[in-house]
Chains A and B, each alone.
Chain A
Amino acid sequence: MDLVKRLLKARGLSSLAFLIALFIIVGAMNPAFLTPATIAACFNTSVVYTLVAVGVAFTLFIGEIDVSVGSNLGLVAVVVGSMLRDGTPLPVACLVGILIGVAIGLVNAWGVAVMKAPSLIFTLGTNGVLRGIVYVYTNGQWVENLPKEFKDFSAVTGIGDFTVYYCAVIALVILIHFALIQTRRGRWFAAVGDNANGATLVGIPALQTKILAYVICGVMAAIGGIIFCSRIGFVTPMSGNGYEMKAIAACVLGGVSLLGGVGSVLGAAVGSVIMASISYLLVFMGFSSNYDNAITGVILIVIVVVDALLQHRSIVQNRHARLNARVSPKATSEVLAEQIADFGEAAMSPLGKKGGVR
């Protein structure tokens, strides 16, 4: 029972369990699914979502949100795509793309962190502006005829059936994860998201942390845009449209709270695999892709509702434990020791579960 409790509290892990259960169910319905190639394909298709979702997760950690990532990705994709088409060397094009991401991140950071504008609305505005710029830049045309080597590189496999892109991205995500939980600076993000004023009072530079989160988010979306070019092979002016919502959904599926301070980038990566592979899984289950959105919506709603109910229950239980401790004959320190034994690491770890109250 204790183990179950622990597992329920580690949301990143429970979403991984959900993903595995999903694979097993689909495999039971259609054994053709259970080959390494098809399972690897589920992960490989998620590579762009993973990048965008990890970026968005940073803004969610600090208690804000970024819905401009879709257009950010689109803009970088059309700029990098058209530069490569016109014969610019790849490193230069990538550098320009990433600089665009940094610039967009700085603009969002200026609005949200410095001018204190509500993040959802500010980034909704920049999303519209960026999408308009994409149309101005491309004149409504598709960007085609990308270099063949660049397109073909997306199919090159690294470890097993996983593409080089996915291996690189997942290595990056793991690196970020450890940077976040092992370094002092990494903890700042969650601290600012948990309580910005408190973080400022203990000497954390809250403003810089917020700016950094938005810049990271912009850069991740920009890298996503470059890989998008390579994987898809052409770029339409609508590229990346709707990615912001899918990225937020992936974060939520992976246990990142929109209230800030809770979650991990690994969870966001697992959530992205779920989001990206749903349409793929449906084909193996014999449904048409028309069910795609409906099932995504159901999964998202069910997961967040169950999560909210569990959280509420644990808040009530904690409160009862606290109140009982006040009237119990035992010494307070003993009760406290028991509580730490019970809720232990989860209660002590800054990345652990936080009681969310509406």
Chain B
Amino acid sequence: MMKTLKGFLSKGQTSWNMILIGLLVLEFVIFGAANGKFLRPALLFTSINDNLPVFMISLFVTLVMVTGGIDIQVASLVGLTSITIGVGWQDFGLPIWGAVGVAFVLVVACGALSGFLIAYCRVQAMVVTLGGSFLYSGLALLISTLSKTESYQGIGGFPEDFKFVSNFQLFGVIPFQLLIYILMLVIAFILLHKTKYGRRITLVGVNQSAAEFSGINSRAVIMSTYMLTAVSAVIAGVVLTAYLGTAKSDLGADLTMDIITAVVLGGTLSTGGKGSIVGTALASFVIAFLRFGLPLCFKVSPQYLDIPVGVLLVVVIVARSAASGTNIGAFLKSLLSSSSKAKA
């Protein structure tokens, strides 16, 4: 039993996706049995809408992690997008889509700056995006002070053709923002799995020197992945602003953990070289329904939801490492030997 499980875990992405689908089915069965409301399409779409920014961004963070990098600034870019749209529209009198354009240029420039520092100055991705998360959330706060509205209130009252993004529903059920997500999903899938560009990203993640010697401009490839996550942050920021109806500088600030969890749970190696868009998408759905189902069906307070998500992440990451050797016995043994050494 243990052995087959081990073999299953260490096998390729296909069987991993099957596990994720199994988890999804399990969630539907358990939550559906506990509370029939969970299966209502309207409620399901609400839960998806609540989590769409995570869904969208995690797709493109997958690309970054396949190159061997990491992006922890992207959540601050969501807030930067939102507040730029709000301030540009309300206080600078730009047309709403003009403000979106300004936000797009600004945020993609931010992504390009971080990407440039990582790819061309050879600074670790973790450090640059950590600095970026301070810098861009600070920038968002500064932009919010340009507005005459107090920053904690948020800028609201957007015109109808902007709210359209969140209000319109195809056939009266499928939210328009979900269609945007599906489009992004298809694009990300084709980019990573079906194009030369995707092969280049993967090779850069496996071995950057080898990629460089086979004529790939590895630095440009790395930089481009950070710009792509910035683009996804802009889209997520627009959708979130339209959905909530307010523009704030700290929108999405707490998304980082969910995004990384989704990408890692989806089977992407944090060391780079291997990743799956389908896995990321499935994993983000698993997390979203977990966060939605537990409060609805078992009256778990939303504040406690970090526990199941964290446990899921920890268990998955340990199970995958365990599938490739080592065990708890070694740990206990080493503890014993170190304590006996300390005594001696």
B residues 283-341 touching A (CB-CB < 8 Å): 301, 303-314, 317-318, 320-322, 324-326, 328, 330-331, 334-335, 337-338, 341
| Residue contact A125 to B314, C-beta cutoff 8 Å | yes
Residue of A nearest to B145 (CB): A290
Residues of B within 8 A of A121 (CB): 260, 264, 270, 313, 317
Alpha-carbon distance between A111 and B322 when the two chains are bound, in angstroms: 10
| Residue contact B303 to A135, C-beta cutoff 8 Å | yes
Alpha-carbon distance between A208 and B95 when the two chains are bound, in angstroms: 61
Alpha-carbon distance between A288 and B305 when the two chains are bound, in angstroms: 35
B residues 190-227 touching A (CB-CB < 8 Å): 208
Smallest CB separation, B313 vs chain A (Å)? 4
A347 within 8 A of B: no
B124 within 8 A of A: yes
Residues of A within 8 A of B141 (CB): 290, 293-294
Residues of A within 8 Å of B, CB-based: how many? 57
Name which of A34-42, A75-83, A216-224, A244-252 contacts chain B.
A244-252
A131 within 8 A of B: yes
Name which of B4-12, B18-26, B126-134 contacts chain A.
B126-134
| Residue contact B138 to A291, C-beta cutoff 8 Å | yes
**Which residue of A120, A130, A212, A297 contacts B131 across the interface (Cβ within 8 Å)?**
A297
| Residue contact B123 to A305, C-beta cutoff 8 Å | yes
Smallest CB separation, A64 vs chain B (Å)? 12
Residues of A within 8 A of B317 (CB): 111, 117-118, 121-122, 125
A336 within 8 A of B: no
| Residue contact A211 to B137, C-beta cutoff 8 Å | no
Residues of B within 8 A of A120 (CB): 70, 126, 270
Residues of A within 8 A of B310 (CB): 124-132
Measured as residues with beta carbon below 8 angstroms from the partner, the interface class of chain B is 35 or more
Known: A124-B261, A208-B337, A259-B124. A129 touches B314 (CB 8 A): yes
**Which residue of B122, B306, B328 contacts A128 across the interface (Cβ within 8 Å)?**
B306
Smallest CB separation, A169 vs chain B (Å)? 24
| Residue contact A293 to B137, C-beta cutoff 8 Å | yes
B278 within 8 A of A: no
| Residue contact B306 to A129, C-beta cutoff 8 Å | yes
| Residue contact A294 to B135, C-beta cutoff 8 Å | yes
Known: A125-B311, A140-B303, A293-B137. A309 touches B131 (CB 8 A): no
Residue of A nearest to B70 (CB): A120
Smallest CB separation, A303 vs chain B (Å)? 9
Smallest CB separation, A115 vs chain B (Å)? 5
Q: List 30 A-B contacts (CB under 8 A).
A: A110-B331, A117-B318, A121-B313, A122-B314, A124-B313, A125-B311, A125-B314, A127-B310, A128-B307, A133-B307, A135-B304, A140-B303, A207-B334, A208-B334, A208-B341, A237-B303, A252-B130, A288-B145, A290-B138, A293-B135, A293-B137, A293-B141, A294-B135, A298-B135, A300-B130, A301-B135, A305-B128, A308-B121, A358-B122, A358-B208
